[in-house]
C-alpha cells in the first residue's frame, strides 16, 4: 500500500493574503519551464504552485512513418544537454526491435561515453548553474546574515579542498570571477573531450548506431580517455568534501532548511550502464539483465525499494492527462494489447499513446502546460514519481538493491561505496553515500540532498568509468576490436529501451509496422518531474515540492528573489527552457476567501 496523500498537512487558513508570483523564463536550467506560485508572506510559505512548459515540438508526431534506424539520430535532438542519453536509449530500443546484440567492446564504449556525460553534465550544472544559488553574491543579496556567518565558519574539510572558510567556498562559486566556477567550466570541456572520444561529438553523438558504435577501438583511444579520467578523479577528491561542507553549513545556518523542496520519497530509477556479459537486449530476459546494470533500476517509495524489475517498471508506466494541451486517446486504436511475454498492456502505456495536440490559452484552473502527467501505477495508486534530478534516485535504488559490485563501486544494501584510486597528488579515497534522513530518522528527499547526491554521483560515474576502461582495454589487448554487429529491420516489432539520462528515468517505446515507425514515445525525466496536475488532481513533483517550501530569504517582497523556491526547482535539474517571473509590488494580491487548491488526492 502506497498512499498518495502528501506529508505535511497544509494550512487551511481562511482569508489568507496571497501574492501571485511567477518565474518565467527561469534561468540557469535547460528547457522551457515556468513556475507560477501563490505565496503567503505572512506565514513565509508557498501556498500553491503550478509548473508549465511553453514549448511543443511534436517528436512522436513527426517520427511516424520514418525509418526506425533514424530514431536515435532524431531523438537525440530532444535535448541539448543530454541528447546522447536519448540516442543511447534509442539504440537500446532498436537493438531489442532488431534482435541484435552488439560486441562487448561496443557496449563498453557506450558506457564510457555515457559515464563521461554524467561527469560533464552534473559538473557544469552543479557548479555553473546551481552553484550560483549558493555563491557569495547570491547569498549576500538574499541572506546577508548567512553570508556573515559563512565568513566566520571554518570549513571542516579545508585540508581536502583548500578553502579555509565556507565564505571562501561561496566566493569561489561567484559567476566568472570565482576561481572554482572557472575551473569547473574547464572541467566541463575536458569531460566533453572524453565523451567525444567515445561518441564522436557532443551533445548529439555521431558514432552511435543500433548494433554498436562506429568508434575505432585502439589503445590510443582508451589511453586518451584514461589520462583525462584520472585528472577528473583527482578533481572529485576535492569537490565531494567541498560540497559536503557547503551543504552541511546550510542546515546549520538555517535550522529547518531540510523542508526546502521537500517531498515524499517517491523515486524512480530505470537503471543505466549495461553489463554486456549479461545484456542480450531481449524483452524476455529484461528483468534479469536489468539487475546486472551498473546503476540498478528501482522504485523507492517512502525509503523502501518496491521493485528492481524493468518488467514491472515498464508495465507500471501510465501517461495521464487532465491539465495538458492534448486530446485524450481513449477512443484511438491500441498498438500493443500484450507485451512479448503475454502480460496485458494498459491503454495509457506509452506503447499505446497517441499524441494529439490541442493548443489553447493557458488557464491554471484548466489546461496550462505542454507537459503531460506520467505516473507509475503500483497496482493501487498512480504515483507521481520524481527523479530528484537523477542522482539521488540512482544512488538510493542502487544502495538498497545491493547488486552492484565492481570494486570501484559497491552497493552494501544500505549505502553505496565509491573507491577512487591514487592520483598524481592524492592518495586513494573512499566516499560512502547513505540514504538521507531527517532529524526524526524519516527518509529525506529535499533540495539540499538532491544537490549533494549530484556531487556523489559524479564520483560514482568516474569510478564506474575506471572499470569500463579496464574491460575495454582487455578486449583490445585480446584482439577483439569489433565494435558493431549487423542486423535486419523486421517488418513488425514491439520494443523498449530503458536507461538513466543525467536527470533521471528515460524510456523509449517503439512499435514498428511495415518496416516503418508506427508509434514512438520517448519519456525523459523532466516530463515526470515537471508534470502537471493529473486527472485525479495529483500535482507533479515540482509543484508538490515547491508547495511544501518554507521561505528563508531575508528580503522584503519588493526585493524578493525567491531563492528558496529557485533552489527547490533547480535541485531537480530541470531540463525545459523555463523561467520565473514574479508579480510583486505592482503585482496582483489575491484576497482569497478559501483555502488554496487542495492537495488531498482522489484515490
Partner 1 sequence: MTHADEDPAVHILWMNGGLGCDGDSVALTAATQPSIEEIVLGALPGLPKVAVHWPLIDFECGPEQGADTFIEWWHKADRGELDPFVLVVEGSIPNEAIKSEGYWCGFGNNPATGQPMTTSEWLDRLAPKATAILAVGTCATYGGIHAMAGNPTGAMGVPDYLGWDWTSKAGLPIVCVPGCPIHPDNLSETILYLLYQVAGQAPMIPLDEALRPRWLFEATVHQGCDRAGYYEEGTFASEYGTPECLVKLGCWGPVVKCNVPKRGWINGVGGCPNVGGICIACTMPGFPDKFMPFMDEPPGARVSTSASGAYGTVIRTLRGFTQRTADKEPKWRVKGSQLRTGYQKTW
Q: Does 589 bind partner 1 (CB under 8 A)?
A: no
Query: Using CB under 8 A, which of the segments 58-66, 433-441, 470-478, 490-498 binds partner 1?
Result: 58-66
Judge whether 575 is annotated as a binding position. yes
Q: Does 286 bind partner 1 (CB under 8 A)?
A: no
Helix (H, G, I), strand (E, B) or coil at 235: helix
Cell numbers standing for residue 244: 559536503
**Distance of alpha carbon 421 from alpha carbon 419, whole angstroms:** 6
Residue 193 burial (CB count, 10 A): 14
Q: Does 11 bind partner 1 (CB under 8 A)?
A: no
Of the residues 111, 207, 275, 353, which one makes contact with partner 1 according to CB under 8 A: 207
Q: For 68-130, give the secondary structure using H, E and C.
A: HHHHHHHHHCCCCCCHHHHHHHHHHHHHHHHCCCCCHHHHHHHHHHHHHHHHHHHHHHHHHHH
**Distance of alpha carbon 527 from alpha carbon 549, whole angstroms:** 21
**DSSP secondary structure of 142-208:** H-HHHHHHHHTSB-TTHHHH--SBHHHHHHHTSTTTSHHHHHHHHHHHHHHHHHHHHHSSSSS-SSE
Q: Does 227 bind partner 1 (CB under 8 A)?
A: no
Kindly determine how many residues on this chain lie close enough to bind partner 1 according to the rule CB under 8 A. 98
**Distance of alpha carbon 307 from alpha carbon 104, whole angstroms:** 27
Judge whether 338 is annotated as a binding position. no
Q: Does 129 bind partner 1 (CB under 8 A)?
A: yes
* Contact status, residue 26 vs residue 42, Cβ threshold 8 Å: no
Query: Using CB under 8 A, which of the segments 213-221, 233-241, 283-291, 293-301 binds partner 1?
Result: 213-221
Of the residues 37, 90, 483, 499, which one makes contact with partner 1 according to CB under 8 A: 483
Query: Using CB under 8 A, which of the segments 266-274, 288-296, 497-505, 579-587 binds partner 1?
Result: 579-587
Q: Does 171 bind partner 1 (CB under 8 A)?
A: no
User: Minimum CB separation from partner 1 for residue 16, in Å?
Assistant: 20
Residue 145: exposed, middle, or buried by beta-carbon count in 10 A (0-12, 13-18, 19+)?
exposed
> Using CB under 8 A, which residues numbered 400 to 459 contact partner 1?
none
Of the residues 166, 197, 273, 459, which one makes contact with partner 1 according to CB under 8 A: 197
User: Minimum CB separation from partner 1 for residue 598, in Å?
Assistant: 24
Of the residues 96, 119, 138, 401, which one makes contact with partner 1 according to CB under 8 A: 138
> Using CB under 8 A, which residues numbered 64 to 93 contact partner 1?
64-67, 69-70, 73-74, 77-81, 83
Of the residues 165, 206, 285, 415, which one makes contact with partner 1 according to CB under 8 A: 206
Question: Angle, nearest 10°, between helix axes 219-253 and 144-151?
Answer: 110
Q: Mark residue 428 as left, alpha or beta (left: phi above 0; alpha: psi -120 to 50; beta: remaining).
A: beta
Query: Using CB under 8 A, which of the segments 42-50, 297-305, 439-447, 479-487 binds partner 1?
Result: 479-487
Query: Using CB under 8 A, which of the segments 6-14, 62-70, 304-312, 431-439 binds partner 1?
Result: 62-70
Query: Using CB under 8 A, which of the segments 130-138, 331-339, 417-425, 455-463 binds partner 1?
Result: 130-138
Contacts of 359 (CB under 8 A, 6+ apart): 56, 325
Distance of CA 386 to the CA centre of its chain: 8
**Distance of alpha carbon 354 from alpha carbon 328, whole angstroms:** 8
Q: DSSP state, 28? A: S
Q: Does 584 bind partner 1 (CB under 8 A)?
A: yes
Of the residues 211, 261, 443, 574, which one makes contact with partner 1 according to CB under 8 A: 211
Judge whether 581 is annotated as a binding position. yes
Query: Using CB under 8 A, which of the segments 262-270, 406-414, 576-584, 592-600 binds partner 1?
Result: 576-584
> Using CB under 8 A, which residues numbered 318 to 377 contact partner 1?
325, 357-362
Helix (H, G, I), strand (E, B) or coil at 212: strand
Q: Does 216 bind partner 1 (CB under 8 A)?
A: yes
Q: DSSP state, 261? A: T
Q: Does 224 bind partner 1 (CB under 8 A)?
A: yes
Contacts of 1 (CB under 8 A, 6+ apart): 380
Judge whether 578 is annotated as a binding position. yes
Nearer to partner 1, 235 or 560 (CB): 560
Nearer to partner 1, 81 or 506 (CB): 81
Query: Using CB under 8 A, which of the segments 16-24, 341-349, 409-417, 531-539 binds partner 1?
Result: 16-24
User: Minimum CB separation from partner 1 for residue 481, in Å?
Assistant: 8
* Contact status, residue 310 vs residue 286, Cβ threshold 8 Å: yes
Nearer to partner 1, 113 or 436 (CB): 113
Of the residues 255, 331, 439, 486, which one makes contact with partner 1 according to CB under 8 A: 486
Q: Does 479 bind partner 1 (CB under 8 A)?
A: no
Q: Does 230 bind partner 1 (CB under 8 A)?
A: no
**Distance of alpha carbon 107 from alpha carbon 110, whole angstroms:** 5
Q: For 398-451, give the secondary structure using H, E and C.
A: HHHHCCCECCCEEECCCCEEEEECCCCCCCCEEEEECCCECCCCCECECHHHHH
Judge whether 79 is annotated as a binding position. yes
**Distance of alpha carbon 52 from alpha carbon 31, whole angstroms:** 11
Of the residues 150, 155, 173, 213, which one makes contact with partner 1 according to CB under 8 A: 213
Nearer to partner 1, 185 or 437 (CB): 185
Cell numbers standing for residue 588: 496582483
> Using CB under 8 A, which residues numbered 489 to 548 contact partner 1?
none
**Distance of alpha carbon 33 from alpha carbon 46, whole angstroms:** 18
Residue ranges for the known binding site for Fe cation are: 82, 578
Residue ranges for the known binding site for Ni(2+) are: 79, 82, 575
Residue ranges for the known binding site for Mg(2+) are: 581
Amino acid at each position: 500500500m502506497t498512499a498518495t496523500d502528501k506529508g505535511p498537512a497544509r494550512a487551511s487558513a481562511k482569508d489568507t493574503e496571497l501574492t501571485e508570483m511567477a518565474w518565467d523564463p527561469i534561468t540557469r536550467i535547460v528547457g522551457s519551464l515556468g513556475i507560477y506560485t501563490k505565496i503567503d508572506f505572512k506565514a513565509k510559505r508557498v501556498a500553491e504552485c503550478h509548473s508549465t512548459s511553453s514549448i511543443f515540438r511534436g517528436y512522436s508526431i513527426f517520427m511516424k512513418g520514418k525509418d526506425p534506424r533514424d530514431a536515435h539520430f532524431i531523438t537525440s535532438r530532444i535535448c541539448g544537454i543530454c541528447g546522447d542519453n536519448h540516442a543511447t536509449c534509442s539504440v537500446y530500443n532498436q537493438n531489442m526491435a532488431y534482435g541484435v546484440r552488439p560486441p562487448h567492446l561496443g557496449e563498453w564504449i557506450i558506457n564510457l561515453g555515457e559515464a563521461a556525460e554524467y561527469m560533464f553534465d552534473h559538473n557544469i550544472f552543479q557548479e555553473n548553474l546551481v552553484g550560483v544559488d549558493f555563491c557569495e553574491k547570491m547569498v549576500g543579496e538574499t541572506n546577508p546574515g548567512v553570508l556573515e556567518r559563512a565568513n566566520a565558519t571554518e570549513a571542516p574539510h579545508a585540508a581536502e579542498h583548500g578553502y579555509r572558510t565556507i565564505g571562501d567556498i561561496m566566493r569561489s562559486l561567484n559567476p566568472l570571477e570565482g576561481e572554482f566556477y572557472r575551473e569547473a567550466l574547464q572541467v566541463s570541456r575536458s569531460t566533453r573531450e572524453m565523451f567525444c572520444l567515445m561518441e564522436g561529438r557532443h551533445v548529439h553523438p555521431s558514432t552511435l548506431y543500433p548494433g554498436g558504435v562506429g568508434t575505432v577501438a585502439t589503445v590510443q583511444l582508451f589511453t586518451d580517455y584514461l589520462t583525462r579520467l584520472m585528472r577528473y578523479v583527482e578533481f572529485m577528491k576535492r569537490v565531494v568534501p567541498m560540497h559536503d561542507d557547503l551543504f552541511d553549513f546550510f542546515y546549520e545556518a538555517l535550522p529547518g532548511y531540510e523542508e526546502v523542496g521537500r517531498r515524499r520519497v517517491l523515486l524512480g530509477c530505470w537503471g543505466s550502464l549495461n553489463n554486456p556479459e549479461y545484456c542480450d537486449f531481449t524483452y524476455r530476459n529484461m528483468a534479469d539483465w536489468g539487475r546486472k546494470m551498473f546503476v540498478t533500476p528501482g522504485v523507492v517509495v517512502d525509503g523502501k525499494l518496491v521493485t528492481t524489475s524493468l518488467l514491472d517498471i515498464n508495465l507500471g508506466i501510465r501517461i495521464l492527462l487532465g491539465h495538458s494541451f492534448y486530446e485524450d486517446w481513449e477512443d484511438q486504436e491500441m498498438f500493443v494489447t500484450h507485451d512479448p511475454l503475454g502480460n496485458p498492456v494498459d491503454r495509457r502505456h506509452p506503447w499505446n499513446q497517441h499524441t494529439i495536440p490541442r493548443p489553447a490559452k493557458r488557464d491554471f484552473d484548466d489546461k496550462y502546460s505542454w507537459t503531460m502527467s506520467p505516473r507509475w501505477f503500483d497496482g493501487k495508486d498512480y504515483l507521481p514519481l520524481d527523479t530528484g534530478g537523477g542522482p539521488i534516485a540512482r544512488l538510493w535504488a542502487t544502495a538498497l538493491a545491493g547488486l552492484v559490485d565492481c570494486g570501484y563501486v559497491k552497493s552494501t544494501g544500505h549505502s553505496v561505496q565509491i573507491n577512487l584510486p591514487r592520483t598524481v597528488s592524492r592518495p586513494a579515497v573512499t566516499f560512502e553515500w547513505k540514504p538521507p534522513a531527517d532529524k526524526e530518522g524519516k527518509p529525506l528527499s529535499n533540495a539540499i540532498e538532491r544537490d549533494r547526491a549530484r556531487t556523489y554521483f559524479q564520483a560514482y560515474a568516474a569510478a564506474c568509468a575506471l572499470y569500463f576502461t579496464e574491460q575495454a582495454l582487455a578486449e583490445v589487448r585480446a584482439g577483439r576490436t569489433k565494435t558493431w554487429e549487423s542486423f535486419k529491420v523486421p517488418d513488425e516489432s514491439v520494443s523498449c529501451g530503458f536507461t538513466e539520462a543525467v536527470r533521471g528515468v528515460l524510456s523509449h517505446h517503439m512499435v514498428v509496422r511495415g518496416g516503418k515507425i508506427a508509434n514512438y514515445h520517448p519519456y525523459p525525466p523532466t516530463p515526470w518531474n515537471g508534470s502537471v496536475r493529473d486527472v485525479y488532481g495529483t500535482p507533479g513533483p515540482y509543484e508538490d515540492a515547491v508547495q511544501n517550501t518554507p521561505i528563508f530569504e531575508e528580503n522584503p517582497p519588493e526585493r524578493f528573489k525567491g531563492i528558496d523556491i529557485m533552489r527547490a526547482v533547480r535541485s531537480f535539474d530541470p531540463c525545459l527552457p523555463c523561467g520565473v517571473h514574479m508579480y510583486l509590488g505592482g503585482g496582483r494580491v489575491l484576497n482569497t476567501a478559501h483555502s488554496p487548491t487542495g492537495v488531498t488526492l482522489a484515490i
